[in-house]
Amino acid sequence: MLQSSKSLKIKTGNTEIISNGVVHLSEPEVRFELDGLIIIYKFIIDSGETRFSAEVINNEMIISLFNFSNTLGEGLLKPIEIGTFQGKPLLATCYVNTVEGNLRQFQYTFMVRV
């Protein structure tokens, strides 16, 4: 019989998931605070193709997602390294389903390399 425990650990390959979930958005931005680290995803529409960029401004990681507007979904499924967390490389993935305009279902995962 399987016993429940107080914590759940998820590992895949050489990474351990530290946080994941789904956020329903009605704004063009979502902000995460992870043990003092600020990570902001911004949705931007322009005349270019689907792409992303990342920069650090005032100690905040800003990840800009350009033209992520597919109703079937699109995202960054290959983990990208965005910093360090408790001395380990911090990686992130995301997947976005856009209903219309700023109405989105945003799936995220933050993980560390172990």
State how far the Cα of 40 lies from the Cα of 32, in Å rounded to an integer: 6
Q: pTM to 2 decimals?
A: 0.91
Residue 3 has pLDDT above 70, yes or no: no
* Contact (CB, 8 A) for 32 and 60: no
State how far the Cα of 37 lies from the Cα of 96, in Å rounded to an integer: 22
What confidence tens digit (pLDDT) does each residue in 35-54 have? Answer: 999 999 999 999 999 999 99
User: With 0-12 CB in 10 A as exposed, 13-18 as middle and 19+ as buried, what is 94?
Assistant: buried
